[in-house]
Structure 1
Amino acid sequence: MLVNSKVLLRRRSHLSSPSTTLRRRSSTVSSDSTESAINEVIKLLQPSNKNKLNSDKINTLLFKTLSSHNHFLQISLRLGSSSKAINFLEYLSHNAPSNHHFSLSSVFQGAIELSTEQQRPSLYSVYHGQPNSENKLIDLYKYRKSKNWTFPLTPKSALLLFQCFEKAQLVNDLIVFFKELDPSAKSTRLCNGLLRVLLKSGRVEDARNVLDEMLEPDNMKFAPDGFTGEIVFGELVNGRSVAADEEIVRLVTLLGERRVFPDTFRLTQLITKLCRRWKNGIAWEVLHRVMKLGGQVEAASCNAMLAGLGRERNIGRMNELLAEMEEMKISPNVITFGILVNHLCKARRIDEALQVFDRLRGKGESNIVGVEPDAVLYNTLIDGLCKVGREEEGLRLLEEMKTKSKHRPNTVTYNCLIDGLCKAGNVDNARGLYNQMIADGLQPSVVTLNTLVDGFCKHGMVFSAVEFFNEMKGKGLKGNAATYTVLISAFCGVNNIDKAMQYFDEMLCSGCSPDVIVYYTLISGLSIAGRMDDASVIVSKLKESGFCLDTACYNVLISGFCKKKKVERVYDLLNEMENTGVRPDTITYNTLISYLGKAGDFPTADKVMKKMIKEGLEPSVVTYGAVINAYCLSNNVDEAMKHFKEMCSTSKVPPNTVIYNILIDALCNLNDVKRALSLMDDMKVRGVRPNTTTYNAILKGVRDEKMLDEAFVLMDRMIEDACNPDYITMEILTEWLSAVGEIEKLKRFVQGYQVSSCSESSAKLFVG
């Protein structure tokens, strides 16, 4: 504590005492006569001379000998206290000529300065934690108002009072004080301080008013300066804005006309922020206003603009900005060309990206000097080439990095190429490139692992994926959630649910948190496999992890429970969907209608369909197919035909081949072949192509009805429609046509020749 006291005393000894400060301030007196007059006035104003105050002599000295602002300021300061200065001010208010307002302003400034000196905490008050009052200056200001003194404050007085209001955190009083100030008392420093306080207090509208006043065309006394720019541009970038996005260009222009510009850091930040808000047009205007008005613009700001334009795929303006940079001698850097190449690659304009890259490597015309392509630029171009299937060119760039560039390939380089080869189906080459990567001394990352595992799985090499994964685990490289998601999806895809569950458990044990995709994949796989109890367990774990089921997941579960005929669980899920705000979609309703139809509950199926329409969902061809199929399965073909006609006349969904096949097969099974043939003709009119299943159904029907001529016509139409006969077709026709002695026509049919024309020609030849 003693050491701290000594330090405090030492620091205090360096502070100027009030008398020292006053002497320093009075050192600018112009002449001995003026000095003598000032001393004489001070002497006459002392309390000991109060009863014999010689007003005439004082007035002569004050208003004839002394005539400047500095003279009256010196008198008030040498009086030694603010109360004496105020007494002097009272005297002047009664005796000063009408054109002597400056004298009152000067003396009031002296009173404020003296009060400020007196407000400095003493050594005793600091040491004992007793701060002096901060209200004395505010009291002086209020005293001036109570006296109705109209003389203007000096800029120094205004600034000291402002600092006092600010320290007391009287923001509202500060605004009123500023509005009452005479323009002559306002200074740039004071306005900057007010801007800072208002913005910090969230008074954006008041700050905008102050700024507008500073930016008035005829204002030269408190015009904005560099500190104004720091405050304003800082706010434009960091949150609370003194201007809406659309007003930013105007603000940048007005400040720029006063030679106040954002520095490179702030300009870059501002352009980046605007571009991220998809305000590229405003960002473009801001950048070009700064350029036009002569502000300093560097590559970093242009890079921010290029990145924004790239996100919009506005390659034309990107090239325009590059040309402007060259014209204005703004040297691009490797980041500039990295942005350009990156967005050209994303726009699939790989050849243009290669042209830019060749210029950097010294190939072609208009070579760029002084910019060396780095590893990031190489990687960007290699990735772009791989994404459009040009892996061979990417591999050539890899070799160039190894032999000609000072930037060696890294793990990212190999990952891009491995991913490209996997997507192209060259999984073996991808594995070979991985081996080359290891030989080059590079360590694989989890991205490398996931890329190869995904590549193996997508090309049916699940065993190779598992083998590679185990190899990586042996080398200490653990998989992440993405790794396990790929493996779980792959095993669900080949209906190996046990293996998928094994990797799910391993995923939990390894500390990886499953994402919603993993849960959805497992629920879907288990439901399709009919393991609804296991699917329900995964649903519970999904909910425990804070996730929610979506419509697709509910649909899979509903379908699974329908197949298991657990209708109670289906209705539980439907209620849960309603309670959680998940709306059923067409697939949900189709699943229910199909289940109810197959169960023979047609009234409920009709209600579900009406509810579906009420919910604003149009029945699809699957919906009608489910209803029609259900009626056909129950041998109620008339009701099926009724829904078919309704579908054709009132719905916007035309019938497809599947629906025709269902009806034709059902009619033939009921020996109503004529109506089935009529449906065949209807298919032709509507432009619906029959398939082999269609012809199998109708051929079976005409066979049962022994309609041989119709069979030949159908066989010819089948050839015309390019429907190849399958084993069912051959089974129907072989036995029948052999029995009736038409085996030759069957042979012609199998060979793809028409059979009806053949029979007619043979008949004509026989008659002849």
Structure 2
Amino acid sequence: MVKPENDDTVSGTSRRNQSGNANMERGKGSFQLVTGKGSHSYSKNQMNRIAKDEYSGSKLTCTFCICKKTCGVVCSRTKLLNILIVCGKPQAANVIFKKLIEEGHQPSLITYTSLLHALTMQKCFKSIHSLVSQVEEKQMKTNSIFYNAVINAFAESGNMEDAKKTVQKMKESGFRPSTGTYSNLIKGYGIVGKSGEAMKLLDLMLTDGNSKPDLQTYNMLIKALCQSGNMSEAWNIVCKMPASGMLPDSVTFNTMAIGYVLNSETAEAEAMILEMQRKGLEPNERTFTVIVNGYYKEGQIKEALQFVYRIKDLGFKPNLLVFNVLINGFVDRMDRDGVDEVLRLMKEFQIQPDVVTYSTIMNAWSQAGFQDKCKQIFDNMLQSGVKPDVHAYSILVKGYVRSMETEKAEELLGDMIESGVRPNVVTFTNVISGWGSSGRMDNAIKIFDKMCELGVSPNLRTFEALIWGYAKADQPWKSEEILQLMEEFHVHPKKSTFLLVSKAWRFAGLTEEAIRLRSISRAKQRINSIDEDGNVATTSERIYQKPHIAPLSSLLQCLPSSVGSTDKKGTALGARRNSRLPRDADLVTTLISTKFKCHSRTCRFVEGFSVMCHKRFQGQRGTYQLTNSCTPVFLN
């Protein structure tokens, strides 16, 4: 479903910045920037660092680059980098740049400018200062295109302080801000919610005379006003545009429609269609999608359907995305008649459903408990030539698990793999839960092994499904062993995880063990709080952060209800567990010497978990009292 706040006013910004600055004067100074305190908007931390030792630490080995001559490799790589950006693959541009450095080449200013665009597209704004510093250290001769790329990056991040400082440095270097420069600044003020500052920039452009606002400038300003909810002023700008020699286009009216939708005034957004027609403009698919999304978000899905009939009468044809929104809306209301009407309308428009359409309807039948109807829709999808994706398969798998038909769920899992669709962690976890709920933990472990073989990493819910399965099987010691396995996979247990293990002991009638697990959970949270104040725990003393969790009852409803058998030897679970658990005699020494550590009067429970005799119901168990707060239980 398309989010209406993502409009197309920013499309082509990079190209426009470069072409709009071609006729500007050139300065001779190198680029320098003093970082100020601004508001930063960082995201995608895994790609958010371009460290100097990573990109600028390699020595130059290319003869052409050392002699500061034109290097063919740098030119060709820069062209490739720009092609990747145009194709919407900025992440690959990062790899190209890094490889260029590793091979001993010196990137050109054009290369750095292109990388700036790539980082901006990925919203990796934290890397901008590092990249700018590299250009400064290399004393490269900058140009207006580079300056505008930096300004655009800061504006996109909402860091208007550094954006303004870059404009000042741009002027000091002999470059005059262009129309693209002001447009980027207006965009930035819109992002930070300062539409008044954006209006001042427009007035400055109108009075300055050097940089006249163009259509993109007006669209940026209208977007800024819409984002701040100032729709009346935004409409005033639209009405004033002809006086400046600019006529609003479809982007302008779509931006206004998005603004009305954001203000829950979808009816006003629909009125933009008539305004567009008065101006000789045709509404496009984006216009229709924005309005249908607006009615959907306001809970007026029937009004959205009536809107589709209205545009049909006007001679327009909605696209598939519009119909998917309608189907999703009627599914939310469990309105079967509404779904059927949308499907008939799609057939009338000769629009074929896609995998999203089928998946939405499948999910509705599955949640309603009609697994046969869900399977029928799945078969119809196959017959129509639409290839199901992992989400469609997962819906069907979950439905089988819900209806206690785990054999069919596992069979479908095999069909996925054979058809080339790689199951994800959700698919595997659903099957594991299904076998656990039917008391078949041997089969659950087999699915877990298959999951590991295919390289799919289990998540917290996977392990909690195993824990709860062993709990229902009255095998709490195995539930606790899963905590060790989680450490092997670097999955940190949350408070809910410890609560499940505690419940496993409580179900077995061992209240003391349940209390012990609860104490361990609280101790870890206290120690974590201490470490966050400045004391960093070592690797062997790893603790887990206190999470924000949903009520336990809602979690238990999603997990297996009964389990009856143990895991077989030779499984990945058993192998990992057996490799970690020492013998009983060694365990006592190991625990006393290494496994329990005190930190700020709090007992750390790390890798030493209790080992309970499988014959505990015969009363054969004993304890070793190690500290006042930890009481491990061992086999007699």
Q: Structure 2 length as normaliser, TM-score?
A: 0.56
User: For residues 397 and 541 of structure 1, what CA distance do their matches in structure 2 show?
Assistant: 49
1:440: how far off?
A: 0.9
Matching residue of 1:332: 213
Q: Pick from 567, 573, 589: which aligns with 2:441? A: 567
CA distance in 2, matches of 1:468, 1:626: 48
- Cα deviation code 1:286-322 (max 9, x no counterpart): 5554445554554245435555676677768755654
Closer, same or farther in 2 for the Cα pair 1:522/1:410, shift >3 Å?
same
Matching residue of 2:512: 642
Contact 1:306 1:340 in 2 (8 A): yes
Q: Aligned-pair distance for 1:198?
A: 8.6
Q: Is residue 357 from structure 1 mapped to residue 238 from structure 2 by the alignment?
A: no
1-side partners of 2:233 and 2:497: how far apart? 52
Give the CA deviation at 1:337.
Answer: 2.6
The whole-number CA distance in structure 1 between the counterparts of 2:456 and 2:196 is 44
Using a 3 Å threshold, how does the CA distance of structure 1 residues 200 and 630 change in structure 2: closer, same or farther? closer
Which of residues 480, 496, 502 is equivalent to 2:376?
A: 502
Paired position in structure 1 for 2:265: 390
Give the Å deviation of 1:443: 1.1
The secondary structure found in structure 2 opposite 1:441 is coil
The residue type equivalent to 2:516 in the other structure is E
- Pick 1 or 2: higher relative contact order, CA cutoff 8 A, min separation 6: 2
Secondary structure of 1:434's counterpart equals helix
Separation (CA, whole Å) in 2 of partners of 1:236 and 1:613:
42
Pair 1:344–1:356, CA change in 2 (3 A): closer
- Alignment pair present for 1:452 and 2:326: yes
Task: Kindly state the Cα deviation for residue 418 of structure 1 after the two structures are TM-superposed.
Answer: 1.6
Superposed displacement of residue 436, structure 1:
0.7
Q: 1:378-414: CA deviations, max 9, x gaps?
A: 1122123224422233234444445x54434344323
Matches within 5 A, 1:136-535: 194-195=69-70, 200=75, 234-237=110-113, 244-246=131-133, 248=135, 262=144, 287-295=167-175, 297-304=177-184, 306-307=186-187, 318=198, 321-322=201-202, 324-329=204-209, 330-342=211-223, 345=226, 348-351=227-230, 354-362=232-240, 369-402=244-277, 404-535=278-409
Q: Deviations over 1:107-166 (max 9, x none)?
A: xxxxxxxxxxxxxxxxxxxxxxxxxxxxxxxxxxxxxxxxxxxxxxxxxxxxxxxxxxxx
Structure 1: 5+ residue stretches without partners? 1-170, 180-190, 204-230, 256-260, 660-768
Matched-pair contact (CA < 8 Å) for 2:502–2:517? no
The answer on whether the counterparts of 2:441 and 2:469 sit within 8 Å (CA) in structure 1 is: no
How many angstroms does 1:246 deviate by?
A: 2.6
The residue number in structure 1 matching 2:23 is: none
CA separation in 2, counterparts of 1:250 and 1:354?
A: 48
Q: Which moved more, 1:621-630 or 1:536-545?
A: 621-630
Q: Distance in 1 between matches of 2:519 and 2:73?
A: 70
Task: Give percent identity, aligned residues only.
Answer: 18
Distance 1:297 1:284 in 2: 11
Matched position secondary structure for 1:350: coil
**1:250 CA displacement:** 8.8
What CA distance in whole angstroms lies between the structure 1 residues aligned with 2:449 and 2:401?
19
1:561 shift after superposition:
0.8
What's the offset of the Cα at 1:658? 6.8
SS at match of 2:414: helix
**Higher percent of residues as helix:** 1
Change (3 A) 1:502 1:368: farther
CA shift for structure 1 position 438: 0.6
Q: Which runs of 5+ in 2 are unaligned?
A: 1-61, 79-106, 118-129, 526-545, 555-636
Preserved contact between residue 195 and residue 228 of structure 2 (Cα < 8 Å)? no
Q: Which residue of 2 aligns with 1:607?
A: 481
C-alpha separation between the residues in 2 aligned to 1:506 and 1:625?
41
Return the alpha-carbon distance in structure 2 between the equivalents of residues 657 and 240 of structure 1.
46
User: Which string of whole-angstrom CA distances, capped at 9 and with x for unpartnered residues, describes residues 504-542 of structure 1?
Assistant: 233333343333322222222222222223322332343
Check conservation: 1:391, 1:421, Cα contact below 8 A. Answer: yes
* Contact preservation (8 Å) 1:624, 1:643: no
Structure 2 vs 1, CA of residues 547 and 368 (structure 1 numbering), >3 Å: closer, same or farther?
farther
Q: Deviations over 1:594-632 (max 9, x none)?
A: 322332334433433565578663463475357537754
Partner amino acid, structure 2, of 1:383: I
Distance 2:137 2:164 in 1: 13
Instruction: Give the C-alpha shift of residue 450 in structure 1.
Output: 1.3
Using the TM superposition, name which of 245-254 and 489-498 deviates more: 245-254
Contact 1:419 1:451 in 2 (8 A): yes
Structure 1 range deviating more: 374-383 or 501-510:
501-510
| Cα distance in 1 for residues equivalent to 2:158 and 2:71 | 29
- Give the SS at the match of 1:444: coil
Task: Identify if the C-alpha distance between structure 1 residues 294 and 609 changes in structure 2 by more than 3 Å, giving closer, same or farther.
Answer: closer
Q: Secondary structure at the match of 1:460?
A: coil
1:651 aligned onto 2:521: yes
Length, aligned pairs only: 426
Report matched runs for 1:73-152 at 5 Å: none
Larger Rg, first or second structure (1 or 2): 1
Task: Indicate conservation of the 8 Å contact 1:425/1:459, yes or no.
Answer: no
For the 8 Å contact 1:520–1:553, the answer to whether it is kept is yes
Alpha carbons 1:594, 1:627 under 8 Å: kept: no
Q: Give 3-state SS (helix, strand or coil) of 1:485's partner.
A: helix
Q: Tell me how far apart the structure 2 counterparts of residues 284 and 617 of structure 1 sit (CA, whole Å).
A: 44
1:542-621 equivalence runs, <5 A: 542-544=416-418, 546-609=420-483, 611-612=485-486, 617-618=492-493, 620-621=495-496
